[in-house]
Chain A
Amino acid sequence: SQTIHQWPATLVQPVGSPLSLECTVEGTSNPNLYWYRQAAGRGLQLLFYSVGIGQISSEVPQNLSASRPQDRQFILSSKKLLLSDSGFYLCALLKAGGPLDTQYFGPGTRLTVL
């Protein structure tokens, strides 16, 4: 079965600093990958999704970007963090077709911007 790894698990960064969050996937190939943000007490906001290497769709224009350099790697980045970037970031995968046609989530990264 597929496994999603995210690191770091927790991160505290100053305003204006860069960001790099990594998501890697095991046990599947050619997945669709997603980045979500969950702000305190709120639902999941879709940030980016990717259907393949180098293919990124952005859902929310902001100071974040995403890249997919390898089939099973999805990276969320920022050049300069804002206070509003604080939240819980979740990576997810979708393996379309058959019994796995459901989205699965990683353990998440808690980001605090001070």
Chain B
Amino acid sequence: AQTVTQSQPEMSVQEAETVTLSCTYDTSESDYYLFWYKQPPSRQMILVIRQEAYKQQNATENRFSVNFQKAAKSFSLKISDSQLGDAAMYFCAYRTSGTYKYIFGTGTRLKVLA
């Protein structure tokens, strides 16, 4: 069975600095998707970034980028120029291509210090 592990329950970063959140996963599949979701205090889940496993190029969305290491089954999220509004719970998620089931990690709470 697939699993997603986020080993950092909480992280802190100074405003304007860069922070990296870790995520590892376990699967025997070769075609899948990986996601990072943000959950601010409002509890609304927001998609931050997604990565298709068949793509070698790392996905980027403005200040957010990923380091996808398929062989190592690692999918970290880098937030550059951190802003106060980035403070939230961040969840890593996995889905096998062609299926409908998502598997989420337990989340990392990010604090941004002014």
- List chain A positions with a Cβ less than 8 A from chain B: 32, 34, 36, 42-44, 46, 49, 51, 59, 88, 90, 92, 94, 96, 101-105, 107-108, 110
Contact = CB atoms under 8 A, between A and B. Distances in A.
Interface of B: 33, 35, 37, 42-47, 50, 91, 93, 95, 100-107
Contact of A49 (B35, B101, B104, B107): B101
A90 B100 contact: no
B101 A44 contact: no
A38 to B, nearest CB: 8
A43 B91 contact: yes
Contacts of B100: 32, 49, 51, 94, 96
Q: What DSSP secondary structure best describes chain A's contact surface?
A: strand
Contacts of A94: 100
A104 B37 CA distance: 10
Contacts of B47: 102-104
A108 B44 contact: yes
Contacts of A103: 35, 47, 93, 95, 102
A107 to B, nearest CB: 6
A105 B45 contact: yes
